[in-house]
Amino acid sequence: MNPLLLGPVAVGDINNDGKLDLAVGTSGQPGPPIAIFLGNGDGTFQDAALVSFPAQSGNNGIIGGLKLADLNHDGNLDLIAGSYEMATMGVLLGNGDGTFKPATFYYEGNAPTGLVNGRLQRRWECRPRHCRYQCLFGEQR
């Protein structure tokens, strides 16, 4: 494997074995790829498996934000990644075995450099001079 420029890290049990795993944003081509390091449970990790994040074919890119969350409530962690050079956010649904389905992309128009996931209340207040945000809302359950 060629050396990768590593970026943001997300930690969670990606393959449902009770051991913490790492998802690491990288930069490179095609893509950028996302490196998945499955944990051995003793503080060491297996060699990286690369997950394709081909937002724009043939372009280099840099992952600016990375989160793990069970977005579709199936018990498997899903991956949310933002590439700030390509103004793209993608959601990769987890299979529960350390692999992911191909990304669904959302072209959000600005360069995502950080991601936050959680439950939003109906009332949200933000003064535009003091913060910048965009929201992608999922189905309420």
Q: For 24-48, what is the mean pLDDT?
A: 87
Alpha carbon distances (Å) from 37 to 41, 58, 86: 12, 25, 25
Q: Which residue has the tokens 């420029």?
A: 5
Q: pLDDT tens digits for 84-96?
A: 666 677 889 999 9
Closest CA to 14 of 100, 102, 89, 74: 100
Q: For 34-42, what is the mean pLDDT?
A: 95
Question: What global pTM score does this model have?
Answer: 0.75
Residues 6+ apart with CB under 8 A from 136: 89, 106, 108
